[in-house]
Amino acid sequence: MATKTVGRPPLPEITDALLRAAERIMESEGFSKLTVDRLVTEVRTTRPTFYRRYPSIAHVAFDVIKMRFGTGTPVGTGTLRGDLLKLQREDVAMFSSPLLRNNLPGLLESVRTDPDVRDLYRDSFIMPRRANVGDVIAEAAQRGELDASVSHDVELVCDTLLGPVLARAVLPIGQPLDDYLARETVDQALRYLNRTDV
């Protein structure tokens, strides 16, 4: 009777080499130049080896971005404005980096056309970052900075923070991604959070 053989587990050094090569290509040339054939040639491995690790090139690209930027660090400045500003400055720095700016249009197209990539991006990157904002708002209410009896739409706050940054990162409008934008978008979110017309 034949026994079922188990394949060799993926070697972490090959995964690391794929990620490093992908990061270099993404940063210097952009998502359109990132291909499976190019990666496996540079790493001196095979297409099956790549596909044992990643279902598509977009998946490795998202791993590179998550590896570089994470999902946001915990904040604890002691004030709502300080916490939101820390998160927003991190996002402005991320979106203004060559790694994200050179790849965002291609990645967004993958998100649009591939449900698996959409789920990956949403679940492992977007939602944790939005949860950070929700945590900051909840902590501010616990400290008494916000009226706990008022319902705050966390998704609207997240959209208020992300929308202008994303627009400047994607659209060729010539406006900078800078600290002024971080401060102004946070102040806009605070105006909503501190509203009295409820």
Distance CA 153, CA 106 (A): 30
Per-domain boundaries in the chain = 12-64, 69-193
In CATH terms, the superfamily for domain 12-64 is Homeodomain-like (1.10.10.60)
Q: Which CATH number does 69-193 carry?
A: 1.10.357.10
For residue 44, what are the contacts with CB-CB under 8 A and spacing of at least 6?
none
Q: What is the pTM of this model?
A: 0.87
Write the pLDDT tens digit of every residue in 8-46: 545 679 999 999 999 999 999 999 999 999 999 999 999
71 secondary structure, DSSP code? T
81 with 146: CB under 8 angstroms? no
pLDDT tens for 95-121 read 999 999 999 999 999 999 999 999 999
pLDDT tens across 168-182, in order? 999 878 899 999 999
Give alpha helix (H) positions in 5-74. Answer: 12-28, 36-43, 47-53, 57-69
What pLDDT, on a 0 to 100 scale, did the predictor assign at position 198?
56
